[in-house]
């Protein structure tokens, strides 16, 4: 990820800012654990982040609701501050960017030019697949073209959120704007090998923040994505269903189900199957990594899983409260 | 940065306006993307030879289609779809949606559910407004690079004079400055690259800049804790869960069965204290301290002079109940604070939307106005094919419609709420406003400005933060009385519903007046429409040529340096734009008459 020789490493940054190496190693150890790596991987992560200058990250939002950006703002291990000021250089993100208009576009284009072939491209939101591009423009340019241009120079492409992975809500029937995910927008370029970067899908509406950051750290450490499944999802986070680790699972096994959101069963934490929970068919890390500093996750707070990390979850038969699973 | 010298200062002045002056044509300054907002907003401003804006045009440049997607679906699912209008105001569309369905069905929710919803809405306000101030708006007023020149000891003295906030030592500010210095000297400015640093409109002394940078970072950490309230009651943030008929979180019978247990209810109280302390000791004093250097902005950026609030924090538990705890409903026209006019959501002549300058057609013609119950959304894109340099703003130029109240453009949001409170004689609001203006030495009309909008946002945050402990106490007292009900399932089964019904769910979102209108036919959504805050504020000119609030607010601004139009950002950001919410959806067939407007 080297950008130029005179730039300091992440560890230099930390030292300059008075943070200890121990803090840094603790962070590396946590990241290794949520990536399902053995403790012995911690030094490798530390080594990778200590010996390289901060890699460039470019974040493009097309048909987004900004929920994915808000989610990463909630990341606490690591925090967003440590990410964008210490670990990565977030060179374009239109929600946080100080510059506006042409100056912002120049910052983005400079980053693409300077780190060509080396930067991480993150995309959120659906992408209208029509070639005219009338449904989404930024700076007068179509969202689809912006993504295709940035993808050509990326070392890694991460589609975050169910919109950028599978089209998400704009692609729900009848898909009025002809939206798709990042892979759909890049398919021909990938086939023609004009886009060589691996593409990782991190679904969720929004994704768990530590899942997004964990994937980036894995790539920076090992120079390749974590193992991916057939839907290009990182296996460490999407290898199990949320049902597998749900605290209500013992009740499921005993056949004890809440029948209403505030009946006695609901108050005792019974299984939410009869209230529409999609947990057994939803692969995500909500019940393991949990949400908002491990405060809760949907089933712990009484609502069934919507299945928001699954393709086509908006169009599932029976809706959110009908047909269970 | 492009070259090593740029790395040192972060300054870069190579930006040129997108369209240069040609002959006697006015110069057009384009800002696209308007960053540090939610979504995709484009501003085109025409200026005269002195750099004064003579006409501004506001354009939303992205559409999705959620309302059309909602047609035919289960109304109980609508909260989850409409929640995805926006992941910033992640609570408000869910609330408007469940209220609309409950209104249509005559549903009355349990008292605990009302308290919990109020707490979640209040937490959203405080979270949103603080983040808007520090992370979205501050960099229009705070020169990050100038903070490098600050004396940390003087900054510490300043902090001590402002409030008892404990992070006030020279060492602390020295460490923040070193962090910033390391960042700038590292040559990778990231999100701060290419800012308008050094612009002559930045007026703060280096010490105030350093103070604000420190609080920018502190607020990033603070906001993560605030949303625990959403996580406890809704399972996660962004996008917590809701349910028609109450709230989905059962109150736990044991210590660990659900998130709403004794320990977490105590945690809610702690988070409320943390929110209130930050508002009192950081946000409010910072607002007043920074405003003191920008009093010239108390006479700029007024807008249309009409203000609308739907009211929020309902006292009663019926869906049609309009008695509010905090914000009353009403309209103020032509700056007249002597009267507050009522709003009628059902009257077809009051709230209407126009498409004269939007990329839509109406069956009754481009000049017509339609009430949301009778709304149409029919795609008629006539803009240039991308990539384009500029829009034809004499024709249609936005995916946003133009809502009007009795034909008038109105501003919605914190300023509207505070003015309606003030005009209604609310003593707490009057006290706060008078005190703040007194501190700044400004008269009441100073509220009608960019600075007034910012001040109103801060002051209402204090009103809400001060009220949250009472909301929490009310919830705890109701639970202690033995009432554990959080959900009423009597109307949850669609088989119990009338064959046809319709309803409106109104609320005050942090960004302003929000309402969803829906019809239900045979248990399915017949029609679903939302008129949202940034549609009111960011919409284009209407059939009569009247500007929307953004456009009116920008007219008359003098741009010191048209290649770095900082003044445009200041006034637009003072509205806190949220564009994904604001934009209507297109009709998939292009020509079919669609009786919903989709976001």
SS3 (DSSP) at B79: helix
Interface of A with B in 296-325 (CB under 8 A): 296-303, 306, 308, 314, 319-322
CA distance A40 to chain B (A): 30
Mean pLDDT of chain B: 91
Q: Given CB atoms, is A149 within the 8 Å cutoff of chain B?
A: no
User: Do A278 and A224 lie in a common domain?
Assistant: no
* CB pair distance less than 8 Å for A172 and B243: no
User: So what's the pLDDT on residue B44?
Assistant: 97
Confidence at A84, pLDDT banded by 50, 70, 90: confident
* CB pair distance less than 8 Å for B259 and A81: no
Q: Is residue A205 part of a domain?
A: yes
- Residues from chain A contacting residue B194 (CB–CB below 8 Å): 98-99, 103-104, 106-107, 110
- Residues from chain B contacting residue A105 (CB–CB below 8 Å): 33
DSSP state of B417: H
Task: Verify cis geometry, omega within 30 degrees of 0, for the bond prior to A134.
Answer: no
For residue A121, the cross-strand partners are A58, A157
Cβ neighbors of B2 (< 8 A, separation 6 or more) are A110, B12
User: So what's the pLDDT on residue A82?
Assistant: 79
The number of helix segments (H) and strand segments (E) in chain A equals: 13, 9
For residue B502, the cross-strand partners are B519
User: Do A212 and A90 lie in a common domain?
Assistant: yes
Contact in structure between B582 and B358 (CB atoms under 8 Å): no
SS3 (DSSP) at A139: coil
DSSP state of B384: P
User: Do A305 and A168 lie in a common domain?
Assistant: no
Q: pLDDT of chain B along its 599 residues, tens only?
A: 333 333 333 333 334 444 444 444 568 999 999 999 999 999 999 999 999 999 999 999 998 888 889 999 999 999 999 999 999 999 999 999 999 999 999 999 999 999 999 999 999 999 999 999 999 999 999 999 999 999 999 999 999 999 999 999 999 999 999 989 988 888 888 999 999 999 999 999 999 999 999 999 999 999 999 999 999 999 999 999 999 999 999 999 788 899 999 999 999 999 999 999 999 999 999 999 999 999 999 999 999 999 999 999 998 887 777 788 799 999 999 999 999 999 999 999 999 999 999 998 888 999 999 999 888 777 788 999 999 999 999 999 999 999 999 999 999 999 999 999 999 999 999 999 999 999 999 999 999 999 999 999 999 999 999 999 999 999 999 999 999 999 999 999 999 999 999 999 999 999 999 999 999 999 999 999 999 999 999 999 999 999 999 999 999 999 999 999 999 999 999 999 998 877 744 333 333 322 222 23
Identify from B68, B84, B388, B484 which residue to disrupt to test chain A contact, counting A C-beta atoms within 10 A and taking the largest count: B84
| Active-site residue, B93 included | yes
User: Do A307 and A159 lie in a common domain?
Assistant: no
> Among partner residues B179, B231, B258, which is closest to A17 by beta-carbon distance?
B179
Q: Is the pLDDT of residue A132 over 80?
A: yes
- How many C-beta neighbours within 10 Å does residue A315 have? 13
**Residue whose tokens read 């939610």:** B38
* CB pair distance less than 8 Å for A81 and B217: yes
User: So what's the pLDDT on residue B25?
Assistant: 57
Confidence at A108, pLDDT banded by 50, 70, 90: very high
Q: Which residues of A56-88 are buried (b: 16+ CB within 10 A; e: fewer)?
A: bbbbbbbbbbbbbbbbbbbbbbbbbbbbbbbbb
Q: Which residues of A271-305 are buried (b: 16+ CB within 10 A; e: fewer)?
A: bbbebbbbbbbbbbbbbbbbbbeebbbbbbbbbbb
Total count of domains within chain A = 2
CA distance B8 to chain A (A): 13
Given the residues B27, B28, B36, B38, the one annotated as active site = B38
User: Do A245 and A298 lie in a common domain?
Assistant: yes
**Residue whose tokens read 């979850």:** A313
Confidence at A44, pLDDT banded by 50, 70, 90: confident
Q: Is residue A5 part of a domain?
A: no
Distance of alpha carbon B228 from alpha carbon B327, whole angstroms: 25
Q: Is the pLDDT of residue A250 over 80?
A: yes
Nearest CA in chain A to B31: A101
* CB pair distance less than 8 Å for B191 and A264: no
User: Do A24 and A124 lie in a common domain?
Assistant: yes
Q: Given CB atoms, is A63 within the 8 Å cutoff of chain B?
A: yes
CA distance A89 to chain B (A): 5
- Output the CA angle B310-B311-B313, nearest 5 degrees: 140
User: So what's the pLDDT on residue B315?
Assistant: 84
Distance of alpha carbon B526 from alpha carbon B243, whole angstroms: 20
Give the containing element (helix H, strand E) for B331. strand B330-332
For residue B330, the cross-strand partners are B309
- Tell me the mean pLDDT in the region A182-207: 97
**Residue whose tokens read 């679903």:** B528
Q: Given CB atoms, is B139 within the 8 Å cutoff of chain A?
A: yes
Considering only CA atoms, which of B234, B226, B238 is closest in space to residue B270? B226
Interface of B with A in 548-587 (CB under 8 A): 564-565, 569, 580, 585-587
- Output the CA angle A42-A46-A47, nearest 5 degrees: 115
Q: Is residue A3 part of a domain?
A: no
Considering only CA atoms, which of A168, A212, A219 is closest in space to residue A198? A219
Q: Is residue A1 part of a domain?
A: no
Nearest CA in chain B to A85: B183
* CB pair distance less than 8 Å for B135 and A53: no
DSSP state of B216: H
- Tell me the mean pLDDT in the region A144-168: 98
Cβ neighbors of A128 (< 8 A, separation 6 or more) are A62, A63, A134, A135, A136, A142, A143, A144, A170, A177, A178, A179
Domain boundary among A181, A213, A237: A237
Read out DSSP for A263-315?
SHHHHHT-B-GGGT--GGG-B-STTTT-BTTTTB-GGGGT-----TTSTTGGG
Strands A56-61 and A119-124, by their bridges, are parallel
Confidence at A324, pLDDT banded by 50, 70, 90: low
User: Do A270 and A195 lie in a common domain?
Assistant: no
Q: Given CB atoms, is B186 within the 8 Å cutoff of chain A?
A: yes
SS3 (DSSP) at B46: strand
Read out DSSP for B261-320?
SHHHHHHHHHHHHHHHHHIIIIIHHHHHHHHTT-GGGGSS---SS-EEE--EEESSSBTT
Distance of alpha carbon B306 from alpha carbon B477, whole angstroms: 40
Domain boundary among A237, A257, A280: A237
Q: Given CB atoms, is A223 within the 8 Å cutoff of chain B?
A: no
Q: Given CB atoms, is A35 within the 8 Å cutoff of chain B?
A: no
Cβ neighbors of B302 (< 8 A, separation 6 or more) are B448, B449, B552, B553
Give the containing element (helix H, strand E) for B138. none
* CB pair distance less than 8 Å for B178 and A16: yes
Q: Is residue A296 part of a domain?
A: yes
* CB pair distance less than 8 Å for A261 and B486: yes
Edge to edge, what strands does the sheet with A56-61 contain?
A: A89-92, A56-61, A119-124, A154-160, A199-202
Q: Which residues of A178-199 are buried (b: 16+ CB within 10 A; e: fewer)?
A: bbbbbbbbbeeeeeeeebebeb
Contact in structure between B173 and B202 (CB atoms under 8 Å): no
Confidence at A148, pLDDT banded by 50, 70, 90: very high
The Cα-based distances of A257 to A267, A287, A324, B232 in angstroms read 11, 19, 12, 21
Cβ neighbors of A294 (< 8 A, separation 6 or more) are none
- Output the CA angle B410-B416-B418, nearest 5 degrees: 170
User: Do A70 and A130 lie in a common domain?
Assistant: yes
Q: Given CB atoms, is A23 within the 8 Å cutoff of chain B?
A: no
Confidence at A76, pLDDT banded by 50, 70, 90: confident
CATH number at residue A62: 3.40.50.700
Nearest CA in chain A to B18: A102
Identify from B60, B73, B191 which residue to disrupt to test chain A contact, counting A C-beta atoms within 10 A and taking the largest count: B191
CATH number at residue A288: 4.10.480.10
Interface of B with A in 291-320 (CB under 8 A): none
Considering only CA atoms, which of A129, A122, A45, A130 is closest in space to residue A89? A122
User: Do A39 and A112 lie in a common domain?
Assistant: yes
User: Do A205 and A233 lie in a common domain?
Assistant: yes
Confidence at A92, pLDDT banded by 50, 70, 90: very high
- Residues from chain A contacting residue B35 (CB–CB below 8 Å): 94-101, 104
- Residues from chain B contacting residue A323 (CB–CB below 8 Å): none
Domain boundary among A207, A237, A267: A237
Distance of alpha carbon B271 from alpha carbon B127, whole angstroms: 11
Task: Verify cis geometry, omega within 30 degrees of 0, for the bond prior to A317.
Answer: no
Contact in structure between B562 and B51 (CB atoms under 8 Å): yes
User: So what's the pLDDT on residue A32?
Assistant: 79
Q: Is residue A2 part of a domain?
A: no
- Residues from chain B contacting residue A133 (CB–CB below 8 Å): 385-386
Distance of alpha carbon B76 from alpha carbon B82, whole angstroms: 11
Distance of alpha carbon B306 from alpha carbon B336, whole angstroms: 9
User: Do A208 and A298 lie in a common domain?
Assistant: no
ipTM computed for the complex = 0.92
User: So what's the pLDDT on residue B70?
Assistant: 93
Q: Is residue A110 part of a domain?
A: yes
> Among partner residues A66, A89, A264, which is closest to B86 by beta-carbon distance?
A66
User: Do A130 and A259 lie in a common domain?
Assistant: no
Q: Given CB atoms, is A99 within the 8 Å cutoff of chain B?
A: yes
Given the residues B472, B511, B557, B595, the one annotated as active site = B511
What is the span of the domain harbouring residue A32? Answer: 10-237
- Output the CA angle A304-B74-B362, nearest 5 degrees: 135
Distance of alpha carbon B346 from alpha carbon B349, whole angstroms: 9
Read out DSSP for B484-545?
---B--TTTSGGGS-SEEEEEEEEEETTEEEEEEEEEETTEEEEEEEE-HHHHHH----TT-
Q: Given CB atoms, is B76 within the 8 Å cutoff of chain A?
A: yes
| Active-site residue, B249 included | no
Token pair of A318, please? 């029976």
Q: What is the CA radius of gyration of chain A?
A: 20
- Residues from chain B contacting residue A93 (CB–CB below 8 Å): 191
- Residues from chain B contacting residue A145 (CB–CB below 8 Å): 386-387
- Tell me the mean pLDDT in the region A98-111: 96
CA distance B333 to chain A (A): 33
Distance of alpha carbon B178 from alpha carbon B137, whole angstroms: 24
């Amino acid at each position: 990820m080297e950008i130029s020789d005179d730039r300091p490493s992440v560890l230099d940054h930390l030292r300059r800012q008075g943070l200890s190496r121990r803090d840094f190693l603790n962070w590396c150890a946590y990241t290794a654990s949520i990536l399902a790596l053995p403790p012995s991987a911690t030094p490798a992560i530390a080594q990778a982040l200590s010996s390289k200058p901060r890699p460039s990250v470019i974040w493009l939002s097309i048909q987004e609701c900004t929920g994915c950006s808000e989610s990463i703002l909630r990341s606490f291990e690591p925090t967003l501050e440590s990410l964008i000021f210490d670990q990565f250089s977030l060179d374009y993100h239109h929600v946080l960017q100080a510059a506006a208009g042409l100056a912002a576009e120049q910052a983005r284009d400079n980053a693409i030019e300077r780190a060509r072939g080396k930067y991480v491209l993150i995309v959120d939101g659906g992408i209208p697949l029509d070639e005219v591009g009338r449904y989404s423009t930024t700076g007068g340019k179509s969202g689809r073209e912006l993504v295709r241009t940035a993808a050509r120079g990326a070392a890694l492409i991460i589609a975050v959120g169910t919109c950028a992975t599978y089209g998400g809500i704009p692609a729900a029937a009848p898909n009025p704007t002809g939206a798709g995910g990042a892979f759909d927008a890049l398919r021909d370029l990938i086939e023609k090998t004009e886009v060589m970067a691996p593409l990782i899908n991190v679904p969720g509406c929004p994704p768990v923040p530590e899942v997004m950051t964990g994937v980036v750290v894995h790539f920076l450490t090992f120079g390749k994505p974590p193992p991916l499944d057939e839907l290009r999802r990182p296996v460490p986070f999407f290898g199990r269903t949320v049902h597998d680790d749900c605290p209500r699972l013992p009740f499921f096994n005993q056949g004890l189900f809440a029948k209403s959101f505030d009946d006695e069963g609901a108050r005792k934490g019974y299984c939410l199957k009869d209230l529409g929970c999609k947990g057994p068919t939803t692969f995500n890390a909500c019940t393991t990594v949990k949400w908002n500093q491990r405060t809760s996750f949907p089933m712990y707070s009484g609502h069934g899983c919507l299945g928001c990390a699954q393709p086509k979850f908006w169009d599932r038969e029976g809706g959110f409260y009908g047909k269970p699973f | 940065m492009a070259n090593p010298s740029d790395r040192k200062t972060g300054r870069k002045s190579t930006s040129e306006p997108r369209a240069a002056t040609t002959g006697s044509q006015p110069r057009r300054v384009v800002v696209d993307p308007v960053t540090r907002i939610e979504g995709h907003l484009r501003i085109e401003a025409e200026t005269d030879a002195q750099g004064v804006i003579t006409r501004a045009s506001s354009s939303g440049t992205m559409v999705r289609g959620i309302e059309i997607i909602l047609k035919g679906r289960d109304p109980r699912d609508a909260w989850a779809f409409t929640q995805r209008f926006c992941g910033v105001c992640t609570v408000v569309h869910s609330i408007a949606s469940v209220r609309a369905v409950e209104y249509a069905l005559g549903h009355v929710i349990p008292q605990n559910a009302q308290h919990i919803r109020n707490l979640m809405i209040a937490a959203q306000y405080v979270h949103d407004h603080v983040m808007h101030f520090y992370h979205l708006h501050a960099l229009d007023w705070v020169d990050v690079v100038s903070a490098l020149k600050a004396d940390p000891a003087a900054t510490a003295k300043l902090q001590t004079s402002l409030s008892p906030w404990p992070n006030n030592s020279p060492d602390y500010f020295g460490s923040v400055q070193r962090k910033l210095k390391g960042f700038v000297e590292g040559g990778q400015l990231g999100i701060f690259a290419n800012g308008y640093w050094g612009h002559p409109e930045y007026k703060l002394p280096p010490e105030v800049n350093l103070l604000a940078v420190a609080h920018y970072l502190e607020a990033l950490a603070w906001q993560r804790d605030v949303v625990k309230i959403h996580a406890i009651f809704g399972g996660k943030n962004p996008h917590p869960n809701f349910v028609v008929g109450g709230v989905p979180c059962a109150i736990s019978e044991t210590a660990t069965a659900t998130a709403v247990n004794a320990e977490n209810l105590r945690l809610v109280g702690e988070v409320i204290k943390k929110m209130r302390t930050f508002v009192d000791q950081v946000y409010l004093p910072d607002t007043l301290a920074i405003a003191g250097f920008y009093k010239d902005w108390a006479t700029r950026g007024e807008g249309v002079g009409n203000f609308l609030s739907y009211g929020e924090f309902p006292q009663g538990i019926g869906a049609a109940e309009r008695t509010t705890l905090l914000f009353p409903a009403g309209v103020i026209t032509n700056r007249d604070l002597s009267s507050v006019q009522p709003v009628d959501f059902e009257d077809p002549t009051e709230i209407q939307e126009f498409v004269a300058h939007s990329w839509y057609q109406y069956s009754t013609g481009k000049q017509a106005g339609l009430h949301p119950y009778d709304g149409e959304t029919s795609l008629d894109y006539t803009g240039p094919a991308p990539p384009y340099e500029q829009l034809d703003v004499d024709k249609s130029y936005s995916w946003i419609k133009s809502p009007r109240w009795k034909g008038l453009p109105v501003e919605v949001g914190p300023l509207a709420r505070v003015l309606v409170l003030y005009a209604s004689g609310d003593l707490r609001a009057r006290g706060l406003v008078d005190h703040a203006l007194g501190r700044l030495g400004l008269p009441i009309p100073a509220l009608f400005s960019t600075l007034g909008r910012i001040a109103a946002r801060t002051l209402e945050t204090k009103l809400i933060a001060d009220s949250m402990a009472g909301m929490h106490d009310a919830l705890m007292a109701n639970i202690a009385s033995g009432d554990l009900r959080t959900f009423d399932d009597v109307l949850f089964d669609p088989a119990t519903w009338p064959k046809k019904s319709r309803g409106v769910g109104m609320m005050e979102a942090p960004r302003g007046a929000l309402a969803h209108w829906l019809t239900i036919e045979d248990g399915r959504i017949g029609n679903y429409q939302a008129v949202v805050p940034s549609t009111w504020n960011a919409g284009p000119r209407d059939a009569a040529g009247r500007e929307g609030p953004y456009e009116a607010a920008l007219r008359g601004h003098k741009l010191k340096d048209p290649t770095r139009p900082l003044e445009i950002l200041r006034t637009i950001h003072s509205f806190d734009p949220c564009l994904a919410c604001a934009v209507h959806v297109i009709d998939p067939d292009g020509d079919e008459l669609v009786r919903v407007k989709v976001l």
